[in-house]
Structure 1
Amino acid sequence: MEHNLLQDLAIARDDWLIKVRVVRFWEAFTPQNEKEPLYLEMILLDEKETPLHVRVRNNFISDFKHMLQEGHMYTIKNLKIAPANETYKPVKGKIMGWFLCTTSVTELLDYPQFIPRHYFEFASIQQLSERVEQKDILSDIIGTLDGFGNEEHVYVNGNPTRIRRLELILKENKKVRVTLWTTIADQFHNMWLSRMDGTSTIAITSTLVKKFRDEYSINSTSSTRIYFDYDIAQYANWAPNQHNKVKELPAQQNDSIENRMVRNRTNIRNIMAMKWEATTQEKVFTILATINDIDDTFGWSYIACHKCMKKLNKRGDQYMCPTCNEPAKYPTPRFKIQLEVSDETAAAKLTLFDRDAQQLLHTTASELLQHGSNKEIPPVLRNLCKQTLIFEIKLSDHNLKEGSQNYTVTRTFIPTSLIEEQSTHKSVQKDPISPQQISSDEEEEPLVFKKKKKQEAAKPRQSASNHQEENNGQDGITSIDEEQILIQTLRTPTSKRTRDGNGSTTRKRKRITRQIK
């Protein structure tokens, strides 16, 4: 019986007969369960060098896993063809294959047609730049290994997760950082221990591309496979011809959840005072702030493209993605919540996006919209008000260059007494402020924010300031507020203080208070 070429396969048939080589073979796991595979997956290649992504469902894995091996050739009968997934595709293409209970596999020991042993779709720097934060197609990369680190642990959704960091130099002599996760990190370690001397070229398949501080960051997925140069010698010309000694990368301890909670801790006033200096300036800070209200002027959600997560535009009965420049097949509601927050120094607006909103609310935007509309704030959203959280904020050029005071939240944390003690201790020793300081003739007191109940219960004190037009009147100061002022006093340089007759320290500046209603 004559076999079919992969380029001729079409949807709506489940009896295709093909002769192919398995050029890539792996088990796909979910982050929540690394023990039980979700699928058995492979890339098949025929004599025309046409690739095909094929899956075996988990209930059939035991039937087929022992029959297949990467690098071997097979005749596969009764293969079903279906539309390819819209996201996380390991190879380009509009179709994919599925094994059925009726599928049969026979190894080809003598096949006259040449089929390459490997298949890659290596991405250039230009392609990587186009795929930042994109999830439709995964990226294969190849480069010279410049360095790697030991196994580390980071926290993902509160759970410790194994990672290993690499640095590769690509063909364009551009260095990229690679993070290998969980089992892929183990795979690299085992392969490195058994490597041949002189190993320098490394290929990493099916990765996701991000950009952090103007540098590309490559992340492995459950579909990732790693190949050293002795496996892929024919692709060596894809990597720069460098043979420097591979260096050891230091661990990045700041990625632990505890360190992220106090990373570059500052306050809202300092954040608002920052100005653009250079592309290398620090742009990620944390603040401790209280949510006072939710601004629903533009709603609390948006309809997103399932590929790039950008906002869709509705045209007639269709949703169009301006980034992908095509109709969205699966428009998805996602959170975009405008929070009004304040600390003891100032008030600001923060934008909370889908991931962190889901973690805080324990629900999705789709579920909430089933019982309401985007024009009304659901009670579960209102419950965020009065909560005090640690917000990790990433400043953009929109903030630093254009002066926008609406800031993007990249992570939220629930504060603990131990973490806040560490933060206070670090603040007393070294104020983690900004690249840009507030300049004035006289150092200002922190702006003390009061809740209405505290104002009514506390004894009012007179406030005097050079800014009486902006801040006139009275406000109550509780013992907590006095403690905050004491902390600020300790942070004041000695040159700004004077000594009284008993040797105690007082401050030569005036208090500025502001009421938040």
Structure 2
Amino acid sequence: MDPKIAKHVNDIIESMMEFFEAWSAIDEQIANSLKALEKLEEEEEMETMGYVDCNPLDIPLYGFEFVPFGDILAKKGSDVYLIDIIGQVTAYGELTKTAKSRCMTIELMDTKNDNLTCVLWGTYADEMINYINAEGANGAIIVILQFAKRIMYKGGVRVQNSRYASRLFINTQLSEIIAFKDSMCCKTQQISGQLTQLTNDSDDFLKQEYVKDIFDIMNMKKSCVCVCLATIEDIDVGYSWYYDGCNRCMSGVIREDDVIRCRKQNVVLRSTTPRFKIKLIVADKSGDASFMMFDKEVSKLVGRTAKEMVASQNQIENNEFPEEFKSLLGKRFLFKVTVPYNNGVDQNYSYTVNSTSDEPKLINKWIELYMKFENSIVVKKESEAESVQECEENRIKDTCIRSRQVLESVSKRIIPDDSDGEANDMHVDNYSNSDARVEIIDSDRVVAQLKDMIDQHNPLAKSFRMARDRFESNNGEDLKLRLIGRRDSDGRTYNLPTTSEVAALIVGDIDTADKRD
């Protein structure tokens, strides 16, 4: 390019650059002016409309909605929804590695002393076991598991984390955890940080809070799991020993003409499978109850499936109760049962068996825990009795002091001021020398007076006395004292007959009531 032309081109480019820079500055000034104008218009509008500054909204950071353990154990609500729980860790199991993941079991207790089993999987289990190993000895561990799942395992209710949605908070400085600790301290005066390690499945089957006898189970006021040691006394043959169950979920079926539907899932089934269902009458030293036992546990005890037993019954065309069940009579087992939320309502004392065991080791452990529990009750009752006795002694002592004060006051009023007070002093001294005891009215004298009064004025009492005297004078003679009819009228106006014989003739009275004597 010609040097002159190139020089002019450069001049033009420099001029254009200066122009763009100046335009950018002008554009920025215009933008700032517009912003200032908009702000001024907003302020004028706020003044016109009367707007005021608002306080920041108090929105929870995580929005916890904790579910009480009692509601979870009672299976209130649907298990489709995820729930939030908070509790103190009281026991934990070892970290177990499975084919696809890792898991550990912890026991939680809430402020109402309800216990709940929680299973953590994957990274949640890693986080929990790492914290226990590092800080387990440094005080109580309070955890929050948000978006947990309620599940059924071996007939019991427990919770576990969901795969990705759950959040685990361990002793963090959340207001909910601080409030939980304060609540526990207010109730127990001291929050314990001692942890118990779960070692095997037997600990899961037989926990100390599960150990009950039949009387205790029948008097439980909340839904829970209990383990009792009882003997099978009888089997109720009035109930069918099996039912046709769904092949998928083991629930019952509904037959409509030729269509078979699952009672739980309401899907059409092509076939069904016989399932055990027997009603046991079990007993221990405290009482007896009805236990419903289903397919898995019955098969474990009799060594056969319901399908095999039904087939053998059909071969010999026998519709009676199978003989195999008679082998269970008289045997003693540990029964792990579920106590329903309506326990005892309308005399309902039937319980579902979750699992059974006849291992001597477990039975001995149950007996040990049961004796420990019974001894603690005895000690508690003795302590309460001593406390009651001490309160009674203090009450009598206070009464004596008040009585002496009243006596002194009365004596001063009765005895003239100009007397030497010897009688008063003597009376008080005699009262003091008797250990300041309150004068006790002769109970025998009172009873005798009441007896004389009743004998004199109550005609029915005279009849009873007469029957007693005749019975004593004629040994072996059968006597019957009959009170006439039942009261159909107001006893304050109409009294029952009191004389032994009444005869009257009333003109026009043809009443044939059968309550005449």
**Same fold judged by TM-score > 0.5?**
no
Give TM-score scaled by structure 1 length: 0.39
The structure that has the greater radius of gyration is 2
The TM-score normalised by the length of structure 2 is 0.39
More strand by share: 1
